[in-house]
């Protein structure tokens, strides 16, 4: 019959061996998880879309935002990275005619989409009417937010014409009207730290053909 001393040793050995087994199993499992995680992080996807009327095909890390794909891979730096949290609107682009914050969406989500950036709206000597109006009314100061402001402005007028209501639309049973209140509400997601809002409003209302 084992002595108390031998029993104590057996218990200690059991605890030590059990702890060692758990540690080894955890280390092995962690290594496998790390391998899977590294494999997942290294995966890329080929995505094809149309940007400013040109077909583009990119092999991108699955985590690449549309904003970074445009700026870093296609070198279309007109679209600006502001807050990178979807709060300032500087990265606004048009996807199939609708405005989105390109920092909040992954590039791989836009297979087959038609994307328009500020470069695709107009060029020097052949400006889009909204670009020309921003110049006429001095709708910018530092200019950093301007590409997003212009893209958003173009989409805002299309939203109203498509009878998409906003929070200030007074009567949902009648077509939405292009008013200063509607434009201000719909443009509220585009921040101008220089405070050129009144000039921006003048530019948009001129393009819309309504009084400011």
Instruction: Tell me the torsion sign for CA atoms 28, 33, 36, 42.
Output: negative
Give me the pLDDT at residue 54, please: 97
Residue 206 has which token pair? 């001129």
Which residue positions in the chain have pLDDT lower than 50?
5, 7
CA distance 140 to 146: 6
**What pLDDT does residue 149 have?**
98
User: Which stretches of 16-71 are assigned E, i.e. beta strand?
Assistant: 44-51, 54-61
- Give the residue among 69, 116, 72 at the shortest CA–CA distance from 92: 116
d(C-alpha 31, C-alpha 35), whole Å:
6
Query: What are the pLDDT digits (tens) for 62-92?
Result: 999 999 999 999 999 999 999 999 999 999 9
pLDDT value, residue 210 = 80
Spatial separation of the C-alpha atoms in residues 209 and 212, rounded to whole Å: 9
CA 112: distance to chain centroid? 17
3-state SS, one letter per residue, for 9-31: HHHHHHHHHHHHHHHHHHHHHHH
- The predicted model scores a pTM of 0.78
Position 115 scores a pLDDT of 98
For 96: left if phi > 0, alpha if psi spans -120 to 50, otherwise beta; the answer is left
Domains and CATH numbers, the chain: 44-121 (3.10.20.30), 122-212 (1.10.150.120)
**H/E element holding 35?**
helix 4-41
Query: CA 189, CA 58: separation in Å to the nearest integer?
Result: 30
Only one residue has tokens 């950036």, namely 117
Torsion angle of the four alpha carbons 201, 204, 205, 207, in this order, in degrees rounded to the nearest 10: 160
What tokens does 89 get?
Answer: 């609107």
């Amino acid at each position: 019959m084992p002595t108390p001393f031998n029993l104590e040793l057996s218990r200690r050995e059991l605890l030590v061996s059990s702890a060692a087994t758990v540690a080894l199993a955890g280390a092995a499992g962690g290594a496998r998880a790390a391998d899977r995680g590294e494999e997942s992080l290294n995966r890329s996807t080929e995505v094809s879309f149309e940007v400013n009327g040109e077909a583009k095909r990119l092999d991108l890390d699955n985590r690449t935002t549309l904003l970074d794909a445009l700026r870093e891979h296609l070198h279309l730096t007109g679209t600006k990275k502001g807050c990178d949290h979807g709060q300032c609107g500087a990265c606004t682009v048009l996807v199939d005619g609708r405005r989105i914050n390109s920092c909040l969406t992954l590039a791989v989500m836009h297979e087959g989409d038609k994307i328009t950036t500020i470069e695709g709206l107009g060029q020097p000597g052949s400006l889009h009417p909204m670009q020309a109006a921003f110049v006429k009314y001095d709708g910018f100061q530092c200019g950093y937010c301007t590409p997003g402001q212009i893209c958003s402005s173009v989409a805002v007028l299309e939203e109203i014409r498509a009878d998409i209501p906003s929070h200030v639309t007074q009567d949902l049973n009648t077509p939405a009207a292009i008013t200063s209140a509607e434009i201000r509400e719909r443009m509220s997601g585009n921040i101008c730290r220089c405070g050129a809002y009144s000039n921006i409003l003048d530019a948009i209302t001129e393009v819309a053909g309504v009084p400011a």
